[in-house]
DNA sequence: ATATGTATCTCGCTC
DNA sequence: GAGCGAGGTACATAT
């Protein structure tokens, strides 16, 4: 057989792919790159784009039936008809290290937290990070004289969706003022904030 | 040199990766799989997970400087220090075909559109798909006796975010009734709908 | 080019 | 396991 049960492996081949599960899809005949990883996740990459043509999450099962590779995971199935193998080898000692990120949302949250008055313009007796509400945790909450200052922080340009997310949190308080904080904001989002008496805070790295 | 300027190619190697751009990241030394595709996109895959450890969008530039691979795209830079090449070859005739999907949100929208009374329970003189409002297009809008029936459709289980999205659209109308439609709904989302006088419509493939 | 919304989102975290 | 939010989201589409 052209495949053994050793993994992780890489298979570059001419094939066709059928998927059925949450959705359904067909990938017509062509040359694609198939990876079966350490965590038993499966990805099928085409000649362009970053995202795979098809995939299966970790702990998927893979078995060979004649010329077919059959991948199953819960109620999702991928059927690969392998017509011609172009390249096949084990990816020995493939590393599972993760990328360590900086410039995260947490950094921006801390920046506002450490320089509260500078960004919010109101001195608060109490300031909380990740304050839990009925609708989930708010990034920042400051309390001044029984008035609640609620801040939703984004590390990228804020959009309309972010503004509505803020509003969701505002519903949890009575005497309140809402803020959306980030490096930039879209016009629609700014208008929405204005309309609902909320403010935008410009904060960057 | 261990690399020529032919692409698309595949490189399995021991390396370290540094990224700087919208964010910053470091990937410590290990064995990773690097793909440079037809569209000049770059992906660096680790031994687990579906998503790449690092990537560059289409039309990125790639050049070799000694032992370093330098990828640039607009203001984003990836620097790969290649310590040892484990495998390297061209991916000749790599196909750019896309997966053809079925069971999409559009199908569900059409299903409700075609069987309006069956799902909504109200006969409407006018029914529109993708009806444009100040806050963007609503999936479905039905008008009956000057009352507006607004439906937000999801192909998967509906959540709280979906319910708040619906509410955003409702702000654009006066005499209105809101609906969230999908195969299933989370408890919190259902409670939220209830609280705001909206309904859930169960629709499936 | 910018803006907006979807995704078999994926992934991590919390309950 | 379900639910919720972040993401250098990526990607398609409309403007």
Q: Let me know whether A69 and A38 are in one domain.
A: yes
Interface test with A, best of B92, B94, B135 (most A CBs within 10 A): B94
Q: Which residue has the tokens 């503004």?
A: A163
What strands, in cross-sheet order, belong to the sheet with A176-182?
A126-133, A136-144, A147-153, A176-182, A199-202
Q: CA nearest A127: which of A140, A146, A108?
A: A140
Structural domain of A22: 9-90
Report the DSSP pairing between strands A126-133 and A136-144.
Answer: antiparallel
For A161-170, what is each residue's pLDDT tens digit? 888 889 888 9
For B34-90, what is each residue's pLDDT tens digit? 999 999 999 999 999 999 999 999 999 999 999 999 999 998 999 999 999 999 999
Q: Is residue A2 part of a domain?
A: no
Residue B127 CA distance to nucleotide C14 C1' (Å): 42
The per-residue pLDDT for A172 is 84
CA separation for the pair A143, A128 (Å, rounded): 9
For A68-112, what is each residue's pLDDT tens digit? 999 999 889 999 999 999 999 999 999 999 999 988 888 899 999
CA separation for the pair A90, A110 (Å, rounded): 44
CATH code assigned at A130: 3.40.1350.10
Residues of B in contact with A25 (CB under 8 A): 99-102
Cβ separation B23–A102 shorter than 8 A: yes
Residues of A in contact with B99 (CB under 8 A): 17, 19, 25-27, 53-54
Say which of B17, B58, B103 has its CB closest to residue A24: B103
Q: Look at A67-71, B10-14, B48-52, B151-155 and tell me which has the smallest mean pLDDT.
A: B151-155
Q: Is residue B138 part of a domain?
A: yes
Residue B168 CA distance to nucleotide C4 C1' (Å): 14
Say which of B22, B32, B93 has its CB closest to residue A95: B32
What is the Cα Rg of chain A in Å? 25
Q: Look at A146-160, B61-75, B131-145, B190-204 and tell me which has the smallest mean pLDDT.
A: B131-145
Calculate what percentage of chain A has a pLDDT beyond 70: 99
Q: Which residue has the tokens 């595709």?
A: B37
Check CB contact of A93 with chain B, cutoff 8 Å.
yes
Q: Is the pLDDT of residue B165 over 90?
A: no
Q: Let me know whether A117 and A197 are in one domain.
A: yes
The listed range with the strongest mean pLDDT (A41-55, A121-135, B113-127) is A41-55
Q: Is the pLDDT of residue A5 over 90?
A: no
The per-residue pLDDT for A103 is 86
Q: Is residue A16 part of a domain?
A: yes
The model's confidence at residue B134, banded by pLDDT at 50, 70 and 90, is confident
Q: Is residue B100 part of a domain?
A: no
Calculate what percentage of chain B has a pLDDT beyond 70: 99
Q: Is residue B112 part of a domain?
A: yes
User: What secondary structure letter does DSSP report for B185?
Assistant: B
Contact A112, A153 (CB under 8 A): yes
């Amino acid at each position: 057989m052209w495949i053994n049960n050793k993994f992780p492996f890489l298979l570059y081949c001419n094939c066709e792919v059928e998927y059925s599960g949450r959705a359904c899809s067909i990938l017509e005949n062509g040359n694609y790159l198939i990876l079966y990883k350490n965590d038993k996740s499966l990805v099928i990459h085409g000649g362009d784009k970053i995202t795979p043509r098809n995939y299966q999450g970790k702990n998927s099962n893979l078995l060979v039936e004649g010329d077919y590779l059959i991948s199953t995971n819960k109620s999702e199935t991928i059927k690969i008809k392998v017509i011609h193998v172009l390249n096949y080898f084990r990816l020995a000692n493939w590393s599972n290290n993760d990328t360590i990120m900086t410039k995260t949302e947490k950094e921006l949250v801390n920046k506002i937290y450490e320089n509260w008055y500078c960004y919010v313009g109101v001195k608060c007796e109490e300031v909380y990070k990740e304050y839990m509400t009925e609708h989930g945790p708010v990034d920042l909450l400051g309390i001044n004289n029984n008035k609640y200052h609620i801040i939703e922080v984004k590390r990228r340009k804020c959009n309309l969706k972010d503004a509505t997310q803020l509003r969701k949190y505002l519903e949890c308080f009575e005497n309140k003022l809402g803020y959306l904080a980030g490096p930039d904001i879209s016009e629609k989002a700014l208008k929405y904030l204005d309309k609902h008496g909320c403010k935008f805070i410009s904060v960057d790295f």
